[in-house]
Amino acid sequence: MLVSLVLIKTAIGKERGVEQEVRKIQGVREAHLLFGVYDISVKVECDNIEELTHIVIDQIRQIDGVRETKTLPGIRYGSI
């Protein structure tokens, strides 16, 4: 299992709508509005990097109001 954090910047005023849409995506376990450089943090759990790529590029980035994402894939301690 791959656990990742996706940070999202949105267009002004689109934060809540983007967060609601992100929560509908299979593999998204948590989504939280933020203050600061990024507007939303998303915890994603999936099987592999290919599935993560699909979730970020084909689903999250396609949501109206998403301007930028930063994806932080987790590693399992001792696996590197």
- CATH number (domain holding residue 40): 3.30.70.920
CA 3 to chain centre: 11
SS3 at position 13: coil
Q: Give a yes or no: residue 78 inside a domain.
A: no
Say how far residue 24 (Cα) sits from the centre of its chain.
12
In a domain, 80, yes or no: no
More confident residue, 78 or 21: 21
Residue 51's domain comprises: 2-73
Residue 79 lies inside a defined structural domain of this protein: no
Q: Render pLDDT for 12-47 as a digit per residue (tens, 0 to 9).
A: 999 999 999 999 999 999 999 999 999 999 999 999
Q: Residue 20: count other Cβ atoms within 10 Å of its Cβ.
A: 11
Per-residue confidence at 50, pLDDT binned at 50, 70, 90? Answer: very high
What is the percent of the chain where pLDDT is above 70? 95
Kindly tell me if the per-residue pLDDT of 78 is higher than 90.
no
How many structural domains comprise the chain? Answer: 1
